[in-house]
Protein backbone atom coordinates (compact mmCIF):
# COMPACT_ATOMS: atom_id res chain seq x y z
CA UNK A 1 0.00 0.00 0.00
CA UNK A 2 1.37 3.41 -0.90
CA UNK A 3 0.18 6.91 -1.56
CA UNK A 4 1.63 9.74 -3.51
CA UNK A 5 -0.84 12.38 -2.32
CA UNK A 6 -0.11 14.99 0.35
CA UNK A 7 -1.75 18.26 1.36
CA UNK A 8 -0.59 21.25 3.35
CA UNK A 9 -3.24 23.07 5.35
CA UNK A 10 -2.76 26.80 4.71
CA UNK A 11 -6.17 28.23 5.64
CA UNK A 12 -5.66 29.23 9.26
CA UNK A 13 -6.32 32.75 10.53
CA UNK A 14 -2.79 33.03 12.02
CA UNK A 15 -4.12 35.38 14.70
CA UNK A 16 -1.41 34.56 17.28
CA UNK A 17 1.34 34.82 14.64
CA UNK A 18 0.09 38.20 13.48
CA UNK A 19 0.76 37.34 9.82
CA UNK A 20 0.01 34.57 7.37
CA UNK A 21 1.80 31.40 8.56
CA UNK A 22 1.87 29.99 5.03
CA UNK A 23 3.99 32.96 3.91
CA UNK A 24 6.28 33.22 6.96
CA UNK A 25 9.93 32.66 6.14
CA UNK A 26 11.34 29.28 7.18
CA UNK A 27 14.82 28.47 5.92
CA UNK A 28 14.70 31.45 3.55
CA UNK A 29 11.45 30.51 1.82
CA UNK A 30 7.72 30.74 2.51
CA UNK A 31 6.66 27.97 4.92
CA UNK A 32 4.06 26.50 2.50
CA UNK A 33 6.54 26.33 -0.38
CA UNK A 34 9.28 24.86 1.83
CA UNK A 35 6.93 22.09 3.01
CA UNK A 36 5.61 21.45 -0.51
CA UNK A 37 9.14 21.04 -1.87
CA UNK A 38 10.07 18.82 1.08
CA UNK A 39 7.09 16.57 0.33
CA UNK A 40 8.01 16.38 -3.36
CA UNK A 41 11.61 15.54 -2.40
CA UNK A 42 10.17 12.81 -0.14
CA UNK A 43 8.44 11.11 -3.07
CA UNK A 44 4.99 12.70 -3.15
CA UNK A 45 3.84 13.35 -6.71
CA UNK A 46 0.59 15.15 -5.88
CA UNK A 47 1.07 17.98 -3.34
CA UNK A 48 -1.77 20.46 -2.87
CA UNK A 49 -2.26 23.52 -0.68
CA UNK A 50 -5.65 23.45 1.05
CA UNK A 51 -7.63 26.38 2.48
CA UNK A 52 -7.58 30.15 2.48
CA UNK A 53 -7.37 32.43 -0.52
CA UNK A 54 -5.74 31.13 -3.65
CA UNK A 55 -4.47 34.52 -4.77
CA UNK A 56 -1.39 34.29 -2.57
CA UNK A 57 -0.38 30.99 -4.19
CA UNK A 58 -1.06 31.86 -7.83
CA UNK A 59 2.53 31.51 -9.05
CA UNK A 60 3.92 29.00 -6.56
CA UNK A 61 3.80 25.92 -8.82
CA UNK A 62 1.50 23.89 -6.58
CA UNK A 63 -2.25 23.38 -6.88
CA UNK A 64 -4.38 25.26 -4.39
CA UNK A 65 -7.86 24.18 -3.29
CA UNK A 66 -9.88 26.61 -1.12
CA UNK A 67 -11.88 25.15 1.75
CA UNK A 68 -15.32 23.95 0.70
CA UNK A 69 -16.73 26.14 3.49
CA UNK A 70 -14.77 29.03 4.99
CA UNK A 71 -13.91 29.66 8.65
CA UNK A 72 -14.53 26.15 9.95
CA UNK A 73 -11.02 25.34 11.14
CA UNK A 74 -8.61 22.51 10.36
CA UNK A 75 -11.34 19.87 10.32
CA UNK A 76 -12.79 21.64 7.27
CA UNK A 77 -9.33 21.59 5.71
CA UNK A 78 -9.16 17.83 6.18
CA UNK A 79 -12.67 17.44 4.76
CA UNK A 80 -11.74 19.52 1.72
CA UNK A 81 -8.55 17.46 1.32
CA UNK A 82 -10.39 14.16 1.40
CA UNK A 83 -13.21 15.38 -0.87
CA UNK A 84 -10.63 16.36 -3.49
CA UNK A 85 -8.47 13.24 -3.00
CA UNK A 86 -7.95 10.71 -5.75
CA UNK A 87 -6.32 8.10 -3.54
CA UNK A 88 -7.53 6.21 -0.48
CA UNK A 89 -4.94 7.83 1.81
CA UNK A 90 -3.78 11.45 2.00
CA UNK A 91 -0.96 12.77 4.13
CA UNK A 92 -2.18 15.94 5.87
CA UNK A 93 0.43 18.41 7.11
CA UNK A 94 -0.14 21.72 8.92
CA UNK A 95 1.86 24.58 7.44
CA UNK A 96 3.14 25.63 10.87
CA UNK A 97 5.02 22.37 11.54
CA UNK A 98 8.32 24.07 10.81
CA UNK A 99 10.64 21.34 12.15
CA UNK A 100 9.51 18.55 9.83
CA UNK A 101 12.25 17.04 7.71
CA UNK A 102 12.66 14.21 5.19
CA UNK A 103 13.34 11.66 7.93
CA UNK A 104 10.09 12.43 9.79
CA UNK A 105 8.11 12.30 6.55
CA UNK A 106 9.80 9.04 5.56
CA UNK A 107 9.00 7.53 8.96
CA UNK A 108 5.32 8.44 8.82
CA UNK A 109 5.16 7.40 5.17
CA UNK A 110 6.51 3.93 5.99
CA UNK A 111 3.84 3.49 8.71
CA UNK A 112 1.15 3.38 6.05
CA UNK A 113 1.90 -0.25 5.15
CA UNK A 114 1.51 -1.41 8.76
CA UNK A 115 -1.99 -0.09 9.38
CA UNK A 116 -4.33 -1.25 6.60
CA UNK A 117 -7.44 -1.25 8.80
CA UNK A 118 -7.07 2.11 10.55
CA UNK A 119 -8.75 5.38 9.55
CA UNK A 120 -6.02 7.73 10.71
CA UNK A 121 -2.30 7.20 11.29
CA UNK A 122 -1.07 10.17 13.23
CA UNK A 123 2.17 11.44 14.62
CA UNK A 124 2.42 11.64 18.38
CA UNK A 125 4.96 12.61 21.00
CA UNK A 126 5.18 12.92 24.77
CA UNK A 127 3.16 16.13 24.50
CA UNK A 128 0.27 14.36 22.77
CA UNK A 129 -1.05 13.50 19.32
CA UNK A 130 -0.57 15.68 16.25
CA UNK A 131 -3.51 14.98 13.90
CA UNK A 132 -2.18 17.59 11.47
CA UNK A 133 0.79 15.42 10.57
CA UNK A 134 -1.15 12.30 9.76
CA UNK A 135 -2.46 9.94 7.14
CA UNK A 136 -6.22 10.27 6.72
CA UNK A 137 -8.24 7.60 4.95
CA UNK A 138 -10.80 8.95 2.49
CA UNK A 139 -13.59 6.92 4.12
CA UNK A 140 -13.23 8.97 7.34
CA UNK A 141 -14.98 11.79 5.47
CA UNK A 142 -18.35 10.44 6.63
CA UNK A 143 -17.47 10.92 10.29
CA UNK A 144 -15.93 14.34 9.63
CA UNK A 145 -18.97 15.57 7.73
CA UNK A 146 -21.35 14.31 10.40
CA UNK A 147 -19.42 16.20 13.07
CA UNK A 148 -19.25 19.38 11.00
CA UNK A 149 -22.99 19.17 10.25
CA UNK A 150 -23.60 19.22 14.01
CA UNK A 151 -21.27 22.25 14.30
CA UNK A 152 -18.65 20.18 16.12
CA UNK A 153 -15.21 21.11 14.83
CA UNK A 154 -12.93 19.36 17.30
CA UNK A 155 -10.21 17.22 15.76
CA UNK A 156 -9.84 15.45 19.09
CA UNK A 157 -13.52 14.39 19.03
CA UNK A 158 -13.27 13.11 15.47
CA UNK A 159 -10.10 11.17 16.31
CA UNK A 160 -12.03 9.56 19.19
CA UNK A 161 -14.64 8.26 16.74
CA UNK A 162 -12.17 6.65 14.31
CA UNK A 163 -9.72 3.73 14.30
CA UNK A 164 -6.40 5.41 15.04
CA UNK A 165 -2.79 4.30 14.99
CA UNK A 166 0.11 6.43 16.18
CA UNK A 167 3.74 6.83 15.25
CA UNK A 168 5.96 8.26 17.99
CA UNK A 169 8.32 11.17 17.33
CA UNK A 170 10.52 13.34 19.55
CA UNK A 171 8.60 16.49 20.60
CA UNK A 172 10.99 18.79 18.71
CA UNK A 173 10.01 17.18 15.38
CA UNK A 174 6.35 18.11 15.91
CA UNK A 175 7.13 21.67 17.02
CA UNK A 176 4.82 24.21 15.45
CA UNK A 177 5.03 27.95 15.12
CA UNK A 178 2.02 29.75 16.57
CA UNK A 179 3.71 32.99 17.65
CA UNK A 180 6.64 34.98 16.20
CA UNK A 181 8.91 33.84 19.06
CA UNK A 182 8.34 30.20 18.00
CA UNK A 183 10.32 30.84 14.81
CA UNK A 184 13.65 31.24 16.62
pLDDT in tens, the chain (184 residues): 567 899 999 986 555 545 667 777 778 888 899 999 999 999 999 999 999 866 777 888 899 999 898 888 899 999 999 999 989 999 999 999 989 999 999 999 999 999 989 999 999 999 999 999 999 999 999 999 999 999 999 999 999 999 999 999 999 999 886 655 556 6
pLDDT score recorded for residue 12: 66
Q: What is the pLDDT of residue 183?
A: 62
What are the structural domain ranges in the chain?
Answer: 5-183
pTM of the model: 0.92
Contact at 8 Å (CB) between 145 and 95?
Answer: no
CA 140 distance to own-chain centroid: 15
* Angstrom distance (rounded) from CA 65 to CA 50: 5
CATH of domain 5-183: 3.90.550.10
Angle ∠(157,54,26) on CA atoms, nearest 5: 75
Amino acid sequence: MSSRSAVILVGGASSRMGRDKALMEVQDQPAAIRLARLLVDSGFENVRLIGGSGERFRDCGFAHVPDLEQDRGPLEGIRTSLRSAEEEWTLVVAVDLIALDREAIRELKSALVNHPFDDVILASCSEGPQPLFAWWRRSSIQTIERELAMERRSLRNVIGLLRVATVEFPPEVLRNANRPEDLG
